[in-house]
Every structure is written in C-alpha cells, then in structure tokens.
C-alpha cells in the first residue's frame, strides 16, 4: 500500500494506557503493511511506552493539542467560536497536525464505541464535519451504538453525522441492525468484527509459577462499578467469587488489569480485591503490561470473568470460556454474534446486586466449559477471517472506491 506520510490517519485514539485502544492500533497497523500511518493520540507518551517497536516504525505519532491546558488559547478560541459560530474551530486546533498541508486523504475514527458515551458525541460530530469540510474522507471503525440513541427527535443531529461518514464498520449485529433501520445507506455500512480479534498473543511475560490452564482470570473496572447501582456491591460480589473459586476448586486466580489511566485504573479495584486475600498464594495481581503480553496471560487462563471489552475479546479469541460483566450494547452484541444469545454469557452490571448472581453465572460457565470451547473453536476462526476486512475496507477507501 503506497501512500504519502499523511494519506492515512487514525484518530479518536485515547492512548495505549487503555490496552483495548492499544490492541486496535496494533491489529490495524499489522494488517496495513507497506506505508507510514499517522496516529493522532490523546497521549503519545503512552503509545511510545506500550506499542511494539515494529508497529511504532510504521507510525508517525502526534499528540492532540489539549486546548484546556492553555488558558489564553482556550479563551481566544472560545471568543472566536462565540463571535463566528464556528463550532469546528476547537477540533481544528485539537487535530492541527491533520489540517492544512498535513490533511490526510482518509481519517479513521478508531474509538468506535465512543458513541456509547453522550459526553463524547459533540466532539465526534464536529471532528467528522471538520474533516469533510477540508476534503478528507472519514471512516468509523469498530462502531457500537446503543439503538435507542438512534431513535426519536433527539437523534437527528447524530444520524446526520453518521450519514456523513464514507464508511461505518459496525463490530456487532445489534449496532449494525440499528444503523440499518435508522436509515444509514447500505452501501456505507458493513458488519465487521473488532480488529482486536486479530491481536497476537505474547507469552513472554507469563509470571513464574503461573498455572496455565488451571487459573481463573478476573478483570474488574471502575467504569463497570460506575454503571452499577452499587459499585461497592460489585466489588463485594467479585470477592465472594474469588472465595468461591478457592473453596470449591484447586485453581488459582489471576487479577488482570486492562486499563491503567489515573482517571479509570483497573488496578484500584483489583488491588482492593487482592488485599482481601493477602497472603493467599493462589491469588496473584498481574502488573501493567502491553496488550499482547496481557493477551498471552489471558490465553493461559482456563476461564475468564471480565468487565473491559477488549480483555474479554482477548479471552474469546484465545478460546477461553468467558463471562462478561457488561454495561452496554458492546458486550451483548459481541456475545450474540458468537453464541447466538447473550443470556448466560453476559451479566449486566446494572443487574448485579447480590454475590450469588455472579457466583451462579460463573458456575454455569464452568459447568458448560466443553460446549463453550466447542462453540468458540467454530466461531473464532470465522471472526478472525472477517476481522481482516477492517484493513481491506481502509485500503478500498484509500484507493478511491
């Protein structure tokens, strides 16, 4: 794929401290060999810390301009926006490296689930409009959107924005069907699994003494706690689950973080959980690691119980029976595409109020282990083959089709 340095840009990348975001970048770049790609990042330092060297060599990494960090600049742009009504001015500043002479032919929004979070939608809309006004094509990749957001009078601006994309890759069928029913043109819409299904696993960081195939991996996130009716009850349920595993099996438990941002750090609830079993050698806390190494650890688990979407994708794609503690369409849609239903495979965190619910869900998972592995063994090769379409769609748009 021959193109100039700024022909292809990836944006809406929150930084590789979220190892799901990292997994998307790594998987996409590995599927797009042969040219330089611009990565517009919210935190370039994280990307230079975690992304593999081979991937970084293919990237020109730029950090977004953080207007909130510069009072005078923020005041000037705010005044300009008030006087001219130019809502896109903030986004032109934020993505300055992708404007003017640096404008790409194609800008791919890789934070596809950002539309699940209402506070992020205005920036998504303005960025998409800004790119189109400067003549840049846009793609929304790995998209998940709650169907109700596409309905009713309040959805008009969102639907106009979505119709502006040159291509939308929905990563699960619930979103795909909702977009199609909302009138997004069929020629712009594709159903393509998350590129992170293609992420390689790296077992080099597997801890000494890790009991491969005889360990339950557990991931808890502050975001899942925030969506619950009672975040403390969620952590208490996980503590009871760990105790249940220790009491009824000989398996170990590995507590695995997947996001380590200060504002949403999995290590906070996991360290609390680890502290409740202080001194028990069967419970270990996995340190922060790059996405491929985390997947190498998750792949060596017998079961996985997780809240972060891409931690569960790492488990699914490694054929590990997985219980998802979900809070949005992402979890339901991926499970339905894999198994034909989300019931039993996804426990909505909003419904999690008693420990027995989590223990029972885990017991069902372990009782049906063989059937689940069989289903994953049939589904995952197809998912991986279809996930290759992410790169193919990017190449198609770059070539003008």
In a domain, 341, yes or no: yes
Of 191, 219, 244, the one marking the end of a domain is 191
Alpha-helical segments (H) within 58-155:
71-84, 89-94, 121-133
| Domain co-membership, 214 together with 307 | yes
| Domain co-membership, 227 together with 339 | yes
Longest dimension (CA), the chain: 68
CATH of the domain at 111: 3.40.50
In a domain, 279, yes or no: yes
| Domain co-membership, 281 together with 182 | no
| Domain co-membership, 135 together with 22 | yes
> How many Å apart are CA 150 and CA 179, to the nearest integer?
7
| Domain co-membership, 233 together with 179 | no
Closest by CA to 126, choosing from 9, 11, 8, is 11
In a domain, 397, yes or no: no
Q: pLDDT tens string for the chain (401 positions)?
A: 334 445 999 999 999 999 999 999 999 999 997 788 999 999 999 999 999 999 999 999 999 987 665 544 444 554 555 565 566 777 888 899 999 988 999 999 998 789 988 888 988 999 999 999 999 999 999 999 999 999 988 899 999 999 999 999 999 999 999 999 999 999 999 999 999 999 999 999 999 999 999 999 999 999 999 988 899 999 999 999 999 999 999 999 999 999 999 999 999 999 999 999 999 999 999 999 999 999 999 999 999 999 999 999 999 999 999 999 998 899 999 999 999 999 999 999 999 999 999 999 999 999 999 999 999 999 999 999 999 999 999 999 998 86
| Domain co-membership, 186 together with 301 | no
Question: On the CB side of 365, how many CA atoms lie within 13 Å of its CA?
Answer: 26
Question: On the CB side of 345, how many CA atoms lie within 13 Å of its CA?
Answer: 27
In a domain, 1, yes or no: no
| Domain co-membership, 268 together with 363 | yes
> How many Å apart are CA 97 and CA 64, to the nearest integer?
8
> How many Å apart are CA 114 and CA 131, to the nearest integer?
18
In a domain, 196, yes or no: no
Which residues, other chains included, contact 252 with Cβ-Cβ below 8 Å and sequence gap of 6+? Answer: 210, 211, 214, 215, 216, 282, 283, 284
Global confidence as pTM = 0.94
| Domain co-membership, 26 together with 143 | yes
Q: What is the DSSP letter of 400?
A: T
CATH of the domain at 297: 3.40.50.2000
> How many Å apart are CA 237 and CA 210, to the nearest integer?
25
Of 191, 225, 241, the one marking the end of a domain is 191
> How many Å apart are CA 362 and CA 379, to the nearest integer?
21
Alpha-helical segments (H) within 196-308:
222-227, 231-248, 267-275, 291-298
Beta strands 303-306 and 106-109 are: unpaired
**What is the domain extent for residue 364?**
203-384
| Domain co-membership, 176 together with 209 | no
Of 130, 162, 191, the one marking the end of a domain is 191
Task: Give the tokens for residue 203.
Answer: 């077992």
In a domain, 187, yes or no: yes
| Domain co-membership, 309 together with 340 | yes
Residue with tokens 């159903």: 191
Q: What is the dihedral of CA 305, 384, 31, 91, to 10 degrees?
A: -60
| Domain co-membership, 145 together with 223 | no
Q: How far is CA 285 from the centre of its chain?
A: 22
Question: What is the pLDDT, as a whole number, of residue 3?
Answer: 40
In a domain, 396, yes or no: no
| Residue 359: how many other CB atoms lie within 10 Å | 17
The H or E element containing residue 237 is: helix 231-248
In a domain, 391, yes or no: no
**Number of domains present in the structure of the chain:** 2
Question: What is the pLDDT, as a whole number, of residue 2?
Answer: 38
| Domain co-membership, 128 together with 19 | yes
């Amino acid at each position: 794929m021959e193109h100039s340095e700024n022909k292809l840009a990836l944006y809406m990348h929150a930084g590789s401290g979220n190892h799901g975001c990292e997994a998307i970048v790594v998987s996409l770049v590995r599927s797009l060999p042969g040219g330089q790609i611009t990565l517009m990042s919210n935190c370039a330092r994280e990307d230079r810390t975690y992304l593999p060297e081979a991937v970084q060599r293919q990237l020109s990494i730029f950090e977004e301009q953080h207007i909130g960090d510069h009072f005078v600049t923020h005041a000037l742009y705010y005044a300009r926006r008030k006087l001219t009504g130019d809502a896109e001015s903030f986004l032109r500043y934020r993505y300055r490296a992708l404007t003017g002479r640096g404008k790409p032919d194609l800008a791919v929004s890789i934070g596809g689930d950002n539309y699940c979070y209402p506070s992020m939608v205005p920036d998504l809309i303005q960025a998409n409009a800004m790119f189109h006004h400067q003549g840049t094509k846009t793609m929304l990749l790995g998209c998940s959107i709650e169907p109700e957001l596409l309905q009713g009078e309040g959805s008009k601006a969102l639907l106009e924005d979505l119709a502006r994309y040159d291509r939308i890759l929905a990563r699960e069928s619930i979103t795909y069907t909702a977009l199609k029913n909302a009138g997004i043109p069929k020629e712009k819409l594709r159903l393509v699994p998350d590129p992170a299904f293609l992420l390689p696993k790296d077992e080099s960081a597997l801890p000494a003494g890790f009991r491969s195939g005889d360990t339950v991996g557990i991931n808890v996130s502050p975001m899942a706690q925030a969506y619950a009716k009672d975040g403390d009850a969620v952590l208490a349920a996980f503590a009871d689950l760990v105790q249940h595993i220790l009491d009824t099996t000989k398996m170990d438990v590995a507590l695995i973080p997947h996001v380590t941002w200060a504002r949403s750090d999995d290590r906070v609830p996991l360290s609390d959980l680890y502290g409740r079993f202080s001194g028990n050698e069967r419970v270990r806390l996995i340190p922060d690691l790059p996405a491929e190494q985390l997947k190498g650890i998750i792949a060596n688990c017998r079961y996985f119980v997780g809240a972060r979407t891409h931690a569960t994708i790492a488990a699914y794609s490694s054929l590990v029976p997985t219980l998802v503690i979900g809070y949005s369409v992402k979890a339901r849609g991926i499970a339905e595409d894999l198994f034909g239903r989300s019931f039993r495979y996804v426990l909505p965190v909003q419904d999690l109020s008693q420990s027995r619910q989590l223990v029972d869900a885990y017991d069902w998972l372990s009782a049906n282990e063989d059937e689940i592995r069989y289903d994953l063994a049939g589904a995952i090769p197809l998912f991986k083959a279809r996930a290759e379409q992410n790169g193919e769609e990017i190449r198609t748009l770059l070539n003008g089709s």
